[in-house]
Structure 1
Amino acid sequence: MLSRLAPALLCVSLMGACAAPTRLDRDPIRRPPPPLPPLPTMANPPPTVLPRIQASAESRSVPPASTAPSSSVPLPPSAGDATTMRQAQEALQQSYQFTGLSDSQLAQQKSAEALLVQGQSKPALQALQRLNQELRTGNKSYVVKSGDSLWVISGKSEVYGNPWLWPLIWQSNLQVLPNPDKLAAGQQLKIRPNPTIQEVVDAVTYAREKNQRSETRIGEIQESGKP
């Protein structure tokens, strides 16, 4: 009996296996994800990495606000220094107006300019005041020779080197030479070696106007009785 049922049972089992085949493409059974870790609380905050401070307040070399500024930082000029600087600059501009400066006078002028550039206004002002006084009041003497005239004297290299500047000599000697046409041999005249630019312009203008009105040489020595 069992021998007859065995083939039948085998066939049934085979049919059941064929009737419900297993799908390989079916998703496996999803399992619930594991629980998340608890969120941190304020009582137990997570560790935080703070950026490093390069230097602490104690180790910095910057002085506190109450400390006096370093000597390398220029201080603002006081009212007195500003006034002295302005006066020195004005004195320098005055020295530029004079002509005929000697090598020594030019060196004094350049030295005062250097002092101003360095900010030493007080010594610059003192040097320029001495220089301007010398240029303003300086004079040298000239003794009139036979055949001289103001035109001839002014044209000499040791005087002005320009005959058109003869009015400068006349202006400096008005007390002893009221008439520029009358010179006397042996007469001593004062020569201003450093007239200003404006004085030179005025002298040349006057000399040219005078020359147009008269053909006579100004200051020429003439014998009495001759035209």
Structure 2
Amino acid sequence: MKIKNMLKYSGLAALVLTVAVGCASAPKEEAAESTATQETAASSMEAQNAINEAKLAAEKAQAAGAAWRDTDGLIKQAEEAMKAGDYAKAIALAEEARRQAEAALAQHEAEMAKMGAAGSASSSYEVVRGDSLWRISGKSEIYGNPYQWPLIYKANRDKIKDADLIYPGQMLAIDRAASSADVAAAVNHAKTRGAWSLGVVEESDKAYLAK
């Protein structure tokens, strides 16, 4: 009988110990899962911030007409990596894009500084390969605002038929005496122009030139 009671008490003790161990391990596992979730959220936020900074730098370079083609591609790759959950890759790509945009802008500003005040006040511009009225207008030595491109279009209506089609070597006049009203009208047209087709003179452009 004593042996039977001993076995009974031993089994009961083992059961209590098992329950105790189970209760003790559950919080540890939950804590580990909570920590992993927090780390993932932090990495995701860091990746998103890196992408936002890259986009901001790219926008500044674009506004100055100094953007490099590879920058947008790097940002898109970073966004794809983030969607796939590869936050480390997303951060690396975004930081590379940001550095590239900042370098492009710095290079552009250095070139403008070399040109000096005389170049900044130039009343003409020679079109180079890859140019568009939008890009030319965005250059700091021209207007520093791509939305002012209609001013160039209007000043060169005798040379430019389609605002979307210019050629390397063309010498374009730059209107340095545009009034605030002229600038406002140009910006408004650029923002409300509507759809366009290469090689076609849009009706909205005709209406702008007629004003």
TM-score by length of 2: 0.37
Which is greater in Rg?
1
| Greater helix content | 2
TM-score by length of 1: 0.35
